Structure 1
Amino acid sequence: MSAPVVDVWGPVAPGARSSFPPAPEPHDEWALAGGAAWVYYSPLNRRQLIRPVILSDGFSSGSSNLDQLWHGLEENGDYRFISELHATGRDVIILGYHDRTASITDNADTAIECIRRATAERVGNAKLTVGGFSMGGLVTRYALARMEQDPTLADHETSLYFSYDTPHQGAWFPIALQAFTHFATDNWGDTPGIGPVLRQFSGLLNSPAAKQMARWHIEKADATPEEASERTAFMRALDEVGGWPRNLRKIGVANGVDTGSGNGIKAGATAVKCGGDTLTDTWLKTQAQGEAEVARLQQTGAGPVSVRTSGLPDIDGAPGGLFSVPSSEGDTGSFGLAGLLMGLLGNTVDPDVITTSCFIPTVSAVGAGDIDDRKALYQPITPDSSALDSFACAGRNEGHTAMTEELGSWLVNEITATG
């Protein structure tokens, strides 16, 4: 599997992959109020900004990491996205943020600043291409739409907006995983070594950005899954600026298939289970429809906590980009992460683990329907059902934001055809 551009939760300590080979020195770096932009001019343009393409980072822990972004875009062994853009005469601006868990609207202010800087420094009058990966697609979508609606902001001078496996209709964080993360943090969050890791993950799930992206969220293990107030407010803010930027062409790609074929994960299956020093008969299940018990959590010596859901679709197996997490044992996924944490807490984990799950359903990535609609999740997607002017979907359900030749070359061709 190709390396994802955006690692959803950052490295899983201890001993996790936490560094990448250094990226080439950028030709220029812009200090922005809420982040930074790294500028790589096309060799065809003699170090002038002529045809800017802004690539926004997405959701993860802490601040944007240029080395990680460069690796995902250029050095993943499948498709050299930046080099291909450079070969067409496009200048690449990688946009990062000081806090990738901050509100989408807050980081959109940084994106607006970057767009205005690009138009000010551009030589000539070529229009911009602006978009992003995962949450970065939402940040730039909102930024461009707001620039069109707010008369105090300059014209974005953008002809093409793109998104790469962006949760336009919401992301899926398995309720079982959310519950286990919060349960473990409540019980062992102060334990040396593992405690900071647990607090980090629980904090990520409860961060402004995660709440805005997640279709269903729980604050605590025993909470009822629902749309967070932060998401409701963000969707309202998006509606207030028109929902989408309109004075440009909108395209996107999905790391899932458009055929309606799921990823093979069965609903209601035991994904991971363990027992040992700290947990007794604890297990997480994949999401099932209707009334479902998705987790049993029990601290050794205490009573069990049952985690139940009602009315959710069987979304873990839906077509879409897969949840990817880097670890010391190689990339894993949502339930694989839970298994790693269980092991770090001193328990024996059953080796028969369903490691991953759907993270960004295809229907969400191409803006073609609600992810709480089971029929929409699993039916083929047609061009006229999408809010995008054009989109491409992967030939298989693969890792979220994985840069592949299939999707990368389609995107480069679309950017080139725009002019």
Structure 2
Amino acid sequence: MTEQPEPVLEPFGLISPPQPPEIPAAPEPDAVWDLPGGKAWVYLANSRFGIQKPVILSDGFETGPSKLDPLWHGLNRTGYPFATKLRERGHDLIVLGYDERSASILENAETATACIRRTIAERKGDAPLTVGGFSMGGLVTRYALAKMETEGVDHQTGTYLSFDSPHRGAWIPISLQALAHFLKATPAMSKQINSDAARQLLWRHIETADGTPRQDPLRTRFLEELDRVGWWPRIPRLLGVANGSGSGTGNGVKAGVDAIRVTSGWFTGTTLRTQAGGTGHEVARLKGLLSERRVVTDDLPELDGAPGGTLESFGIAGSKLRLTGKVDIEPGTESICFVPSVSAVAVRDLENQADLYLDIEELSKDESELDDFMLSPRNDPHSFMSEELAIWILKRLPD
């Protein structure tokens, strides 16, 4: 009998929020700028006056080029009409995108720098810029501004804004990273996990299904380069918001439970578990027609259930695996922590369990590297523009 090849699964995103199948077209921008390595879409508050009070917001991580329609959808249609309210208050919105969103943060920072320079050149008057971004976009613009200062370039930015950006690292479960590498018939998933940007973003990374979780060397070099340019820009006021709760309350995902079980079909016996602490914790049993892999972690904290902006990582993976056989998904494990709250507002690293579940609301604001920050009252989806966060941002933008 001839062995049948494993089915090719359509790539599914593990490091980016899922998008609805059909997204309405964004309104026509007032201008589109072609930039080295990307482009920017310009929405003026008043088309008669040109750019007067610019707000640059950068796209985050994904594979491939930035697309305006989903960016506008996230900004204005999913929770709160932020783009509309921003322009009603007289601010000009400049949406910054990249030719390849999974490219190195350092590389895309050059595109951000070009956008800042173009904004200054076209601005009418001398109102200071607001510059920032969503998720990885907050890191791209953070580095770009800091580097410009180090090089003596006047970026004329008064406010920096990060929106659920992983300043201390992001989390994709080791079990899901291993699954991405194990599905050899779908190499796009492994390529996404191993992209430069993913290696720089993720707190712990594995390069192959049998790899040992570690801080990737690309992340180490990125952090060294960030330190070289001053760690943060020093001139603007540093603002940040988190989609995760600040009360220390997790998202309800239990540690060490089976999140996904494949009970028939091509990958029968494959099991993915949520992260638990301790030594020798099995996070995955991966089974295919011709191969099998057991994935074990040592001394990692219970990150899946931590307070933070969430992604439907297990839910999406389970729905794709259902195309190949019967799959059981443990209720309540579909969405897990992606950007821990302590990372988004830069108050703690991710190594210690107690720090992850810290009651941030009880801390002094001085414990954050940001000048001011806001956390969600809930653990909302990553990059979700809630009314609470949107209003907080609008109140703190320069008049």
Bin for the TM-score computed over the shorter chain: over 0.9
User: Once the 2 structures are TM-superposed, how far is the Cα of residue 341 of structure 1 from its aligned partner?
Assistant: 2.7
Identity of aligned residues (%): 49
User: Once the 2 structures are TM-superposed, how far is the Cα of residue 300 of structure 1 from its aligned partner?
Assistant: 3.8
CA contact (8 A) 2:251 2:379 kept: yes
Residue equivalent to 1:195 = none
Q: 2:354 aligns with which of 353, 360, 375?
A: 375
Q: Verify: 1:26 aligned to 2:26, yes or no.
A: no
Residue equivalent to 2:64 = 62
Distance 1:47 1:355 in 2: 47
Distance 1:124 1:301 in 2: 66
CA contact (8 A) 2:17 2:382 kept: no
Residue equivalent to 2:6 = none
Residue equivalent to 2:8 = none
Q: Verify: 1:398 aligned to 2:380, yes or no.
A: yes
Residue equivalent to 1:89 = 90
User: Once the 2 structures are TM-superposed, how far is the Cα of residue 179 of structure 1 from its aligned partner?
Assistant: 0.6
CA contact (8 A) 1:50 1:124 kept: yes
Distance 2:265 2:32 in 1: 50
Residue equivalent to 2:223 = 235
Residue equivalent to 2:117 = 116
Residue equivalent to 1:136 = 137
Distance 1:35 1:285 in 2: 38
Residue 321 of structure 2 aligns to which amino acid in structure 1?
M
Residue equivalent to 1:173 = 172
Q: Verify: 1:201 aligned to 2:189, yes or no.
A: yes
Residue equivalent to 1:328 = none
CA contact (8 A) 2:258 2:330 kept: no
Residue equivalent to 1:192 = none
TM-score scaled by length of structure 1: 0.88
Distance 2:181 2:264 in 1: 19
CA contact (8 A) 2:15 2:172 kept: no
Give the secondary structure class of the aligned counterpart of 2:154. Answer: coil
1:32-84 deviations in whole A, cap 9, x for unaligned?
Answer: 011001100003x62410000001000012100100100110122x3111111
Segment of structure 1 superposing worse, 19-28 or 311-320: 19-28
User: Once the 2 structures are TM-superposed, how far is the Cα of residue 286 of structure 1 from its aligned partner?
Assistant: 0.4
Residue equivalent to 1:388 = 370
Residue equivalent to 1:284 = 272
Distance 2:114 2:96 in 1: 10
Distance 1:373 1:156 in 2: 37
User: Once the 2 structures are TM-superposed, how far is the Cα of residue 305 of structure 1 from its aligned partner?
Assistant: 1.5
Distance 2:330 2:314 in 1: 11
Shift of the 88–148 alpha-carbon distance from structure 1 to 2, 3 Å rule, reads: same
Poorly superposed stretches of 4+, deviation over 3 Å: 7-12, 16-19
1:387-414 deviations in whole A, cap 9, x for unaligned?
Answer: 1000000010010000111101101111
CA contact (8 A) 1:10 1:61 kept: no
Residue 362 of structure 1 aligns to which amino acid in structure 2?
S
Distance 2:178 2:100 in 1: 24
CA contact (8 A) 2:263 2:269 kept: yes
Number of equivalent positions: 382
Give the secondary structure class of the aligned counterpart of 2:395. Answer: helix
1:335-362 deviations in whole A, cap 9, x for unaligned?
Answer: 1122123222x12101534212100000
Residue equivalent to 1:220 = 208
Shift of the 337–8 alpha-carbon distance from structure 1 to 2, 3 Å rule, reads: closer
CA contact (8 A) 2:75 2:82 kept: yes
Distance 1:277 1:134 in 2: 36
Distance 2:343 2:269 in 1: 35
- Unmatched tracts of structure 2, length 5 or more: 1-12
- Unmatched tracts of structure 1, length 5 or more: 1-6, 190-197, 324-332
Residue equivalent to 2:5 = none
Distance 2:14 2:27 in 1: 24
CA contact (8 A) 2:318 2:329 kept: no
Give runs of aligned pairs for residues 311-330 of structure 1, distance below 5 A: 311-323=299-311
TM-score scaled by length of structure 2: 0.93
Residue 238 of structure 2 aligns to which amino acid in structure 1?
K
